[in-house]
Amino acid sequence: MTDQAREAWVEAAQVGQQINDRLLRADWSQFDWQALGRLPPVKSLTTAEIENGIGGSQQVPQADDDAGVLTLRVHSVFAEYFPAGHVPFLMNVLTHPQMLQLQRQCLGSESIYFDHNQLLTRSGGYPGNSWHSHRIGAGRDNCGMAELAEYRAQPNTNLTLCYPEGFETGKDGGLKIVRGSHLFRDPAGCRFTTDIEMEQQWLANRVHPVTGDPLRIERLDLPPGSLVCCLTHAAHAVEPKAMDRKTRCCTVYCYKNQMI
């Protein structure tokens, strides 16, 4: 990112978070729930749940839709789940020729399709996220390792994580990832709470199918203005963020090479 883009990106992400925070504090009884396809919820978020969600992403309980959170997410009323729809700069990024060319390069296809966009704001005290990967569907999940040519030919999804402020290793809410793990197509198997569990179980005796190098955890340390691209089957996790670290913003843009 250029210096100007980094500054504009941070400001846009902060605006998106502010919109999200205002929604959390708003009177949800004023929403047209019928237009959103459901009856008004009979349950509300608690004061503690609202305050926990202020200033950060993915912190609002949504294991069910009792309070209407999932409905608001699906319809992109929550700015954190489609910030490009709320902040013009972030929409410009989504459709920018350089971004689209990057996706064509990563996915190896001239035909690409937008999948989703998300705000990932990490404030001090963020607990982190455990090891996981994501499904792509079309019968391509949990089906065993693929040769490179086979993997390139199948439907794929590219996650592009944009860090205008960068992050440091350690407790800064940074990304951890395992190169080559996507080729194993194992979202059901690579789910672990700690690095030690990941290393002793899923990574043990596995090697990169292309390079032959042992698979290992990489704890990234990125300068401001960095982008990280990984296919959705790649095993990744997020470090916790210490209470004394300042809030860091990130936006995610996700594209596919085939319609599923």
Q: Tell me: the pLDDT tens digits for 71-116?
A: 999 999 999 999 999 999 999 999 999 999 999 999 999 999 999 9
Residue 259, both tokens: 């319609």
Q: Are residues 142 and 209 in the same domain?
A: yes
Give the range of the structural domain holding residue 189, as residue numbers without chain letter.
96-260
With a CB cutoff of 8 Å and minimum separation 6, the contacts of 166 are: 222, 223, 224, 225, 226
With a CB cutoff of 8 Å and minimum separation 6, the contacts of 95 are: none
pTM of the model: 0.93
3-state helix, strand, coil in the chain (%, to 5): 30, 20, 50
pLDDT reported for residue 258: 85
Q: What is the CATH number of the domain that holds 121?
A: 2.60.120.620
Indicate the SS3 state at residue 251: strand
Q: Are residues 139 and 236 in the same domain?
A: yes
Is there a domain that residue 87 lies in? no
Note down pLDDT in tens along the chain; length 260 residues.
999 999 999 999 999 999 999 999 999 999 999 999 999 999 999 999 999 999 999 999 998 999 999 999 999 999 999 999 999 999 999 999 999 999 999 999 999 999 999 999 999 999 999 999 999 999 999 999 999 999 999 999 999 999 999 999 989 999 999 999 999 999 999 999 999 999 999 999 999 999 999 999 999 999 999 999 999 999 999 999 999 999 999 999 999 998 76
Q: Which of 12, 45, 79 is the last residue of a domain?
A: 79
Is there a domain that residue 219 lies in? yes
pLDDT reported for residue 259: 74
